[in-house]
Amino acid sequence: MTLIILLGGFAAGLLGALTGLGGGMIIVPLLSIGLGVNLRYAIGASLISIIATSSGAAAAYVREGFTNIRIGMFLEIATTIGALIGAFIAGLVSTTFIALVFAAVLTYSAYLSLRPRVEHVSVADSHSWSRALRLDGTYPTPEGEQAYGVQRVGTGFSLMLVAGTLSGLLGIGSGAVKVLAMDQAMRLPFKVSTTTSNFMIGVTAAASAGVYLRRGYIDPGLSFPVVLGVLAGSFVGSRLLTRAHPRRLRQIFAVVVLLLALEMVYKALTGSL
Amino acid sequence: MSRSWNDLDIARYVSAILRGGLLLSAVITALGGVLYLMRHSGDTVAYRTFVGEPPHLRSVVGIVQGAARGDAPAIIQFGLLLLIATPIARVALALLGFYLERDRRYVAISAVVLIILVLSLLGRV
Protein backbone atom coordinates (compact mmCIF):
# COMPACT_ATOMS: atom_id res chain seq x y z
CA MET A 1 0.00 0.00 0.00
CA THR A 2 2.75 2.41 0.99
CA LEU A 3 4.62 1.69 -2.24
CA ILE A 4 1.54 2.35 -4.38
CA ILE A 5 0.95 5.67 -2.60
CA LEU A 6 4.63 6.58 -3.06
CA LEU A 7 4.42 5.89 -6.81
CA GLY A 8 1.12 7.73 -7.10
CA GLY A 9 2.64 10.73 -5.34
CA PHE A 10 5.61 10.57 -7.69
CA ALA A 11 3.32 10.61 -10.74
CA ALA A 12 1.31 13.53 -9.34
CA GLY A 13 4.47 15.51 -8.54
CA LEU A 14 5.89 14.83 -12.00
CA LEU A 15 2.74 15.92 -13.80
CA GLY A 16 2.33 18.93 -11.52
CA ALA A 17 5.85 20.18 -12.22
CA LEU A 18 5.67 19.53 -15.97
CA THR A 19 2.37 21.33 -16.47
CA GLY A 20 3.02 23.99 -13.84
CA LEU A 21 -0.47 23.43 -12.47
CA GLY A 22 0.36 21.83 -9.15
CA GLY A 23 0.07 18.31 -7.82
CA GLY A 24 -2.88 18.85 -5.47
CA MET A 25 -5.49 18.55 -8.19
CA ILE A 26 -4.09 15.13 -9.11
CA ILE A 27 -3.19 13.77 -5.66
CA VAL A 28 -6.61 14.25 -4.03
CA PRO A 29 -8.61 12.39 -6.73
CA LEU A 30 -5.86 9.77 -7.00
CA LEU A 31 -6.04 8.97 -3.29
CA SER A 32 -9.81 9.23 -2.95
CA ILE A 33 -11.08 7.75 -6.21
CA GLY A 34 -8.09 5.57 -7.06
CA LEU A 35 -7.13 4.15 -3.68
CA GLY A 36 -10.33 4.55 -1.70
CA VAL A 37 -8.83 6.89 0.90
CA ASN A 38 -11.33 9.05 2.78
CA LEU A 39 -11.52 12.53 1.27
CA ARG A 40 -10.54 14.25 4.53
CA TYR A 41 -7.30 12.25 4.86
CA ALA A 42 -6.59 12.78 1.15
CA ILE A 43 -6.96 16.56 1.47
CA GLY A 44 -4.75 16.60 4.60
CA ALA A 45 -1.96 14.68 2.84
CA SER A 46 -2.28 16.86 -0.26
CA LEU A 47 -1.99 20.11 1.72
CA ILE A 48 1.24 18.88 3.30
CA SER A 49 2.70 17.87 -0.05
CA ILE A 50 1.93 21.19 -1.74
CA ILE A 51 3.81 22.99 1.06
CA ALA A 52 6.81 20.83 0.13
CA THR A 53 6.67 21.45 -3.62
CA SER A 54 5.99 25.16 -3.19
CA SER A 55 8.95 25.58 -0.83
CA GLY A 56 11.29 23.73 -3.17
CA ALA A 57 10.29 25.67 -6.27
CA ALA A 58 10.05 29.03 -4.47
CA ALA A 59 13.58 28.65 -3.09
CA ALA A 60 14.89 28.66 -6.66
CA TYR A 61 12.60 31.35 -8.14
CA VAL A 62 13.11 33.83 -5.29
CA ARG A 63 16.86 33.77 -5.80
CA GLU A 64 16.53 34.24 -9.55
CA GLY A 65 14.57 37.46 -8.97
CA PHE A 66 11.25 36.54 -10.60
CA THR A 67 9.20 36.44 -7.41
CA ASN A 68 7.78 39.72 -6.11
CA ILE A 69 8.06 39.23 -2.34
CA ARG A 70 6.04 42.37 -1.56
CA ILE A 71 3.09 41.40 -3.74
CA GLY A 72 3.29 37.90 -2.28
CA MET A 73 3.33 39.08 1.31
CA PHE A 74 0.49 41.56 0.80
CA LEU A 75 -1.76 39.04 -0.96
CA GLU A 76 -0.95 36.38 1.65
CA ILE A 77 -3.12 38.33 4.08
CA ALA A 78 -6.03 37.44 1.79
CA THR A 79 -5.01 33.85 1.04
CA THR A 80 -4.31 32.90 4.68
CA ILE A 81 -7.61 34.37 5.91
CA GLY A 82 -9.29 32.51 3.03
CA ALA A 83 -7.44 29.31 3.97
CA LEU A 84 -8.78 29.48 7.53
CA ILE A 85 -12.31 30.08 6.22
CA GLY A 86 -11.91 27.11 3.84
CA ALA A 87 -10.61 24.81 6.57
CA PHE A 88 -13.48 25.93 8.82
CA ILE A 89 -16.07 25.20 6.11
CA ALA A 90 -14.43 21.79 5.48
CA GLY A 91 -15.26 20.80 9.06
CA LEU A 92 -18.94 21.67 8.65
CA VAL A 93 -19.88 20.17 5.29
CA SER A 94 -20.15 16.59 4.00
CA THR A 95 -17.49 14.95 1.84
CA THR A 96 -20.11 14.80 -0.94
CA PHE A 97 -20.31 18.60 -0.97
CA ILE A 98 -16.51 18.91 -0.97
CA ALA A 99 -16.26 16.42 -3.86
CA LEU A 100 -18.76 18.40 -5.94
CA VAL A 101 -16.90 21.69 -5.39
CA PHE A 102 -13.68 19.86 -6.22
CA ALA A 103 -15.13 18.60 -9.50
CA ALA A 104 -16.23 22.13 -10.43
CA VAL A 105 -12.73 23.51 -9.77
CA LEU A 106 -11.17 20.65 -11.79
CA THR A 107 -13.43 21.44 -14.74
CA TYR A 108 -12.63 25.14 -14.57
CA SER A 109 -8.88 24.40 -14.40
CA ALA A 110 -9.11 22.14 -17.43
CA TYR A 111 -10.81 24.96 -19.34
CA LEU A 112 -8.17 27.48 -18.25
CA SER A 113 -5.26 25.25 -19.15
CA LEU A 114 -6.53 24.91 -22.73
CA ARG A 115 -7.15 28.60 -23.25
CA PRO A 116 -4.17 30.61 -24.45
CA ARG A 117 -2.81 32.89 -21.73
CA VAL A 118 -2.68 36.51 -22.82
CA GLU A 119 0.02 38.64 -21.30
CA HIS A 120 -0.73 42.30 -20.59
CA VAL A 121 2.21 44.07 -19.05
CA SER A 122 1.75 47.66 -17.97
CA VAL A 123 4.64 49.90 -17.17
CA ALA A 124 3.05 53.24 -16.44
CA ASP A 125 -0.03 54.34 -14.46
CA SER A 126 0.00 51.85 -11.64
CA HIS A 127 -2.94 51.57 -9.27
CA SER A 128 -2.64 54.06 -6.39
CA TRP A 129 -2.44 51.19 -3.86
CA SER A 130 0.45 49.76 -5.79
CA ARG A 131 2.42 52.95 -5.33
CA ALA A 132 1.56 53.14 -1.64
CA LEU A 133 2.54 49.50 -1.09
CA ARG A 134 5.57 49.61 -3.40
CA LEU A 135 4.28 46.66 -5.41
CA ASP A 136 5.79 47.72 -8.76
CA GLY A 137 8.91 45.78 -9.58
CA THR A 138 11.37 44.54 -12.15
CA TYR A 139 12.20 41.06 -13.36
CA PRO A 140 15.05 39.58 -15.39
CA THR A 141 14.51 39.04 -19.16
CA PRO A 142 17.03 38.17 -21.89
CA GLU A 143 17.10 41.94 -22.70
CA GLY A 144 17.88 42.91 -19.11
CA GLU A 145 15.73 43.99 -16.15
CA GLN A 146 12.19 44.80 -17.21
CA ALA A 147 10.00 47.09 -15.10
CA TYR A 148 6.28 46.44 -14.59
CA GLY A 149 3.35 48.16 -12.92
CA VAL A 150 0.41 46.69 -11.03
CA GLN A 151 -3.29 47.29 -11.74
CA ARG A 152 -6.56 46.66 -9.86
CA VAL A 153 -5.04 45.70 -6.53
CA GLY A 154 -8.45 45.48 -4.78
CA THR A 155 -9.85 43.02 -7.33
CA GLY A 156 -6.69 40.92 -7.09
CA PHE A 157 -6.92 40.90 -3.29
CA SER A 158 -10.58 39.78 -3.33
CA LEU A 159 -9.86 36.99 -5.82
CA MET A 160 -7.01 35.83 -3.56
CA LEU A 161 -9.50 35.49 -0.71
CA VAL A 162 -11.43 33.06 -2.96
CA ALA A 163 -8.22 31.24 -3.94
CA GLY A 164 -7.31 30.80 -0.26
CA THR A 165 -10.77 29.51 0.64
CA LEU A 166 -10.67 26.90 -2.14
CA SER A 167 -7.17 25.91 -1.06
CA GLY A 168 -8.25 25.34 2.55
CA LEU A 169 -11.43 23.51 1.55
CA LEU A 170 -9.97 21.27 -1.16
CA GLY A 171 -6.28 20.87 -0.30
CA ILE A 172 -5.08 22.34 -3.58
CA GLY A 173 -2.85 25.29 -4.52
CA SER A 174 -5.67 27.07 -6.42
CA GLY A 175 -3.23 27.99 -9.17
CA ALA A 176 -6.08 28.64 -11.62
CA VAL A 177 -7.74 31.32 -9.48
CA LYS A 178 -4.38 32.89 -8.64
CA VAL A 179 -3.56 33.17 -12.33
CA LEU A 180 -6.90 34.89 -12.85
CA ALA A 181 -6.13 37.38 -10.10
CA MET A 182 -2.54 38.11 -11.08
CA ASP A 183 -2.63 37.88 -14.89
CA GLN A 184 -6.07 39.27 -15.63
CA ALA A 185 -6.77 41.68 -12.79
CA MET A 186 -3.34 42.87 -11.67
CA ARG A 187 -1.72 42.50 -15.09
CA LEU A 188 1.57 41.04 -13.96
CA PRO A 189 4.03 39.46 -16.40
CA PHE A 190 3.67 35.63 -16.59
CA LYS A 191 7.01 34.90 -15.02
CA VAL A 192 6.18 37.13 -12.07
CA SER A 193 2.61 35.90 -11.57
CA THR A 194 3.53 32.22 -11.85
CA THR A 195 6.48 32.39 -9.47
CA THR A 196 4.79 34.71 -6.97
CA SER A 197 1.69 32.49 -6.96
CA ASN A 198 3.91 29.50 -6.27
CA PHE A 199 5.67 31.41 -3.49
CA MET A 200 2.31 32.07 -1.81
CA ILE A 201 1.04 28.50 -2.00
CA GLY A 202 3.29 27.28 0.83
CA VAL A 203 2.11 29.95 3.28
CA THR A 204 -1.53 29.51 2.25
CA ALA A 205 -1.40 25.74 2.66
CA ALA A 206 0.45 26.09 5.99
CA ALA A 207 -2.47 28.15 7.36
CA SER A 208 -5.04 25.44 6.63
CA ALA A 209 -2.62 22.56 7.37
CA GLY A 210 -2.35 23.84 10.96
CA VAL A 211 -6.12 23.51 11.36
CA TYR A 212 -6.17 20.11 9.63
CA LEU A 213 -3.40 18.81 11.89
CA ARG A 214 -5.23 19.85 15.06
CA ARG A 215 -8.44 18.25 13.79
CA GLY A 216 -6.65 14.93 13.21
CA TYR A 217 -7.00 14.97 9.41
CA ILE A 218 -3.29 14.44 8.83
CA ASP A 219 -2.36 10.78 9.06
CA PRO A 220 1.38 10.01 9.33
CA GLY A 221 1.23 6.58 7.67
CA LEU A 222 -0.57 8.01 4.65
CA SER A 223 1.14 11.39 4.46
CA PHE A 224 4.77 10.33 4.48
CA PRO A 225 4.71 8.33 1.21
CA VAL A 226 2.56 11.06 -0.40
CA VAL A 227 4.94 13.89 0.54
CA LEU A 228 8.13 12.03 -0.32
CA GLY A 229 6.66 10.75 -3.60
CA VAL A 230 5.37 14.16 -4.70
CA LEU A 231 8.67 15.79 -3.74
CA ALA A 232 10.70 13.28 -5.77
CA GLY A 233 8.29 13.55 -8.70
CA SER A 234 8.38 17.33 -8.83
CA PHE A 235 12.17 17.32 -8.54
CA VAL A 236 12.48 15.01 -11.55
CA GLY A 237 9.75 16.97 -13.36
CA SER A 238 11.56 20.28 -12.98
CA ARG A 239 14.72 18.68 -14.45
CA LEU A 240 12.78 17.32 -17.44
CA LEU A 241 10.97 20.59 -18.05
CA THR A 242 13.45 21.93 -20.59
CA ARG A 243 12.86 18.91 -22.83
CA ALA A 244 9.08 18.77 -22.49
CA HIS A 245 6.34 20.26 -24.66
CA PRO A 246 4.20 22.33 -22.27
CA ARG A 247 1.34 22.78 -24.75
CA ARG A 248 0.86 19.10 -25.44
CA LEU A 249 1.22 18.36 -21.72
CA ARG A 250 -1.46 20.89 -20.87
CA GLN A 251 -3.83 19.19 -23.30
CA ILE A 252 -3.15 15.82 -21.68
CA PHE A 253 -3.58 17.43 -18.28
CA ALA A 254 -6.93 18.92 -19.27
CA VAL A 255 -8.25 15.54 -20.42
CA VAL A 256 -7.04 13.75 -17.28
CA VAL A 257 -8.53 16.45 -15.05
CA LEU A 258 -11.90 16.36 -16.84
CA LEU A 259 -12.12 12.59 -16.46
CA LEU A 260 -11.27 12.90 -12.77
CA ALA A 261 -13.99 15.54 -12.39
CA LEU A 262 -16.62 13.26 -13.97
CA GLU A 263 -15.54 10.31 -11.82
CA MET A 264 -15.69 12.50 -8.73
CA VAL A 265 -19.22 13.71 -9.46
CA TYR A 266 -20.34 10.13 -10.13
CA LYS A 267 -18.79 8.79 -6.90
CA ALA A 268 -20.09 11.70 -4.85
CA LEU A 269 -23.65 11.28 -6.11
CA THR A 270 -23.69 7.50 -5.68
CA GLY A 271 -22.35 8.00 -2.18
CA SER A 272 -19.27 5.79 -2.65
CA LEU A 273 -16.69 8.39 -1.74
CA MET B 1 15.92 53.24 3.28
CA SER B 2 19.11 51.67 4.50
CA ARG B 3 21.67 50.76 1.85
CA SER B 4 23.14 47.97 3.92
CA TRP B 5 19.98 45.87 3.77
CA ASN B 6 17.60 45.57 0.81
CA ASP B 7 15.02 43.32 -0.86
CA LEU B 8 17.75 41.21 -2.48
CA ASP B 9 19.08 40.26 0.94
CA ILE B 10 15.58 39.25 2.01
CA ALA B 11 15.26 37.13 -1.14
CA ARG B 12 18.56 35.37 -0.46
CA TYR B 13 17.73 34.50 3.14
CA VAL B 14 14.16 33.51 2.30
CA SER B 15 15.48 31.15 -0.37
CA ALA B 16 17.97 29.61 2.07
CA ILE B 17 15.38 29.04 4.81
CA LEU B 18 12.92 27.43 2.39
CA ARG B 19 15.58 25.07 1.11
CA GLY B 20 16.92 24.23 4.58
CA GLY B 21 13.49 23.67 6.12
CA LEU B 22 12.40 21.46 3.26
CA LEU B 23 15.55 19.35 3.40
CA LEU B 24 15.41 18.90 7.18
CA SER B 25 11.74 17.96 7.21
CA ALA B 26 12.15 15.54 4.28
CA VAL B 27 15.00 13.73 6.07
CA ILE B 28 13.08 13.45 9.36
CA THR B 29 9.87 12.38 7.62
CA ALA B 30 11.76 9.72 5.64
CA LEU B 31 13.48 8.50 8.80
CA GLY B 32 10.15 8.22 10.61
CA GLY B 33 8.70 6.50 7.53
CA VAL B 34 11.38 3.81 7.51
CA LEU B 35 10.88 3.17 11.25
CA TYR B 36 7.13 3.09 10.70
CA LEU B 37 7.40 0.50 7.94
CA MET B 38 9.72 -1.66 10.05
CA ARG B 39 7.34 -1.65 13.01
CA HIS B 40 3.89 -1.32 11.47
CA SER B 41 4.08 -2.94 8.03
CA GLY B 42 1.81 -5.77 9.18
CA ASP B 43 -0.95 -3.44 10.40
CA THR B 44 -4.14 -3.30 8.40
CA VAL B 45 -4.81 0.26 7.38
CA ALA B 46 -8.32 1.63 7.07
CA TYR B 47 -8.22 5.01 5.39
CA ARG B 48 -11.66 4.57 3.84
CA THR B 49 -13.55 5.64 6.92
CA PHE B 50 -12.56 8.78 8.70
CA VAL B 51 -11.80 8.31 12.39
CA GLY B 52 -9.27 11.08 12.98
CA GLU B 53 -5.85 10.88 14.58
CA PRO B 54 -5.36 10.21 18.33
CA PRO B 55 -4.86 13.38 20.43
CA HIS B 56 -1.08 12.93 20.82
CA LEU B 57 -0.64 13.17 17.03
CA ARG B 58 -2.73 16.34 16.78
CA SER B 59 -0.96 18.85 19.00
CA VAL B 60 2.48 20.38 18.73
CA VAL B 61 3.35 19.36 22.31
CA GLY B 62 2.08 15.79 21.85
CA ILE B 63 4.00 15.34 18.61
CA VAL B 64 7.27 16.64 20.07
CA GLN B 65 6.94 14.41 23.16
CA GLY B 66 6.12 11.38 21.01
CA ALA B 67 9.03 12.01 18.65
CA ALA B 68 11.39 12.34 21.63
CA ARG B 69 10.22 8.88 22.79
CA GLY B 70 11.10 7.47 19.36
CA ASP B 71 7.49 6.73 18.39
CA ALA B 72 7.53 6.28 14.58
CA PRO B 73 4.20 7.97 13.70
CA ALA B 74 5.16 10.90 15.96
CA ILE B 75 8.55 11.24 14.22
CA ILE B 76 6.76 11.43 10.83
CA GLN B 77 4.33 13.95 12.29
CA PHE B 78 7.29 15.97 13.63
CA GLY B 79 8.81 16.04 10.14
CA LEU B 80 5.47 17.23 8.72
CA LEU B 81 5.25 19.84 11.48
CA LEU B 82 8.68 21.16 10.42
CA LEU B 83 7.36 21.35 6.89
CA ILE B 84 4.37 23.43 8.03
CA ALA B 85 6.80 25.58 10.06
CA THR B 86 9.01 26.28 7.01
CA PRO B 87 6.74 28.89 5.34
CA ILE B 88 6.00 30.33 8.80
CA ALA B 89 9.74 30.82 9.38
CA ARG B 90 9.94 32.40 5.92
CA VAL B 91 7.32 34.99 6.91
CA ALA B 92 9.10 35.70 10.22
CA LEU B 93 12.38 36.18 8.37
CA ALA B 94 10.84 38.58 5.85
CA LEU B 95 9.35 40.52 8.77
CA LEU B 96 12.83 40.91 10.22
CA GLY B 97 14.17 41.96 6.83
CA PHE B 98 11.50 44.64 6.38
CA TYR B 99 12.26 45.86 9.91
CA LEU B 100 15.93 46.23 9.01
CA GLU B 101 14.86 48.09 5.85
CA ARG B 102 12.74 50.33 8.11
CA ASP B 103 9.70 49.60 5.98
CA ARG B 104 7.00 49.89 8.66
CA ARG B 105 4.12 49.16 6.34
CA TYR B 106 5.57 45.79 5.38
CA VAL B 107 6.51 44.96 8.95
CA ALA B 108 2.80 45.35 9.74
CA ILE B 109 1.70 43.30 6.71
CA SER B 110 4.14 40.48 7.57
CA ALA B 111 3.02 40.57 11.21
CA VAL B 112 -0.64 40.07 10.23
CA VAL B 113 0.27 37.03 8.10
CA LEU B 114 2.49 35.63 10.87
CA ILE B 115 -0.25 35.99 13.50
CA ILE B 116 -2.78 34.19 11.28
CA LEU B 117 -0.32 31.33 10.72
CA VAL B 118 0.59 30.93 14.40
CA LEU B 119 -3.08 31.04 15.45
CA SER B 120 -3.96 28.33 12.92
CA LEU B 121 -1.31 26.01 14.34
CA LEU B 122 -1.80 26.72 18.05
CA GLY B 123 -5.39 27.96 18.32
CA ARG B 124 -8.49 25.99 19.25
CA VAL B 125 -10.75 26.06 16.23
Q: What is the pLDDT along chain A (273 residues), one digit of tens a residue?
A: 788 899 989 988 888 877 766 678 889 998 999 888 999 999 999 999 999 999 998 888 898 888 999 999 999 999 999 999 999 999 999 999 999 999 999 998 888 878 777 777 766 667 788 888 888 888 888 888 888 989 899 999 999 999 999 999 999 988 778 878 898 889 998 889 888 998 999 999 999 999 999 999 999 999 999 999 999 998 888 888 766 676 777 788 788 888 989 999 998 888 777
Tell me phi and psi for residue A144, to 5 degrees.
105, -175
Buried b (16+ CB within 10 A) or exposed e, A157-191: bebbbbbbbbbbbbbbbbbbbbbbbbbbbbbbbbb
The pLDDT of residue B124 is: 62
Instruction: Classify residue A125 as left (phi > 0), alpha (psi -120 to 50) or beta.
Output: left
- Judged on CB neighbours under 10 Å (0-12, 13-18, 19+), B51 is exposed
Share of chain A above pLDDT 70, in %: 96
> Helix A39-64 and helix A69-92: axis angle, to 10°?
180
pLDDT reading at B5 higher than 80: no
Closest-CA residue of A relative to B52 is A216
Here the ipTM equals 0.91
Q: How far is B34 from chain A (nearest CA, A)?
A: 10
Confidence band of B4 (pLDDT split at 50, 70, 90): low
SS3 A138: strand
Nearest CB to A223; choose among B59, B80, B105: B80
Closest-CA residue of B relative to A168 is B120
SS3 A149: coil
Cβ separation of B77 and A227 shorter than 8 Å? no
Tell me phi and psi for residue A178, to 5 degrees.
-65, -40
**Inter-residue contact A33 to A252 (CB < 8 Å):** no
Task: Give bridge partners of residue A147 from the DSSP assignment.
Answer: A138
SS3 A139: strand
CA angle at B61 for the pair B58 and B65, rounded to the nearest 5°? 100
Quote the distance between the C-alpha of residue A265 and its chain's center.
Answer: 21
Cβ separation of A224 and B14 shorter than 8 Å? no
A53 close contact with B: CB closer than 8 A: no
pLDDT reading at B125 higher than 70: no
The pLDDT of residue B123 is: 78
User: In sequence order, which ranges of chain A are alpha helices (DSSP H)?
Assistant: 2-19, 24-29, 39-64, 69-92, 95-114, 128-132, 153-170, 175-179, 190-215, 220-240, 246-269
- Using a cut of 0.90, tell me whether the model's pTM lies above it: yes
* Mutation to test the A interface, candidates B84, B93, B118, B124, most A Cβ within 10 Å: B84
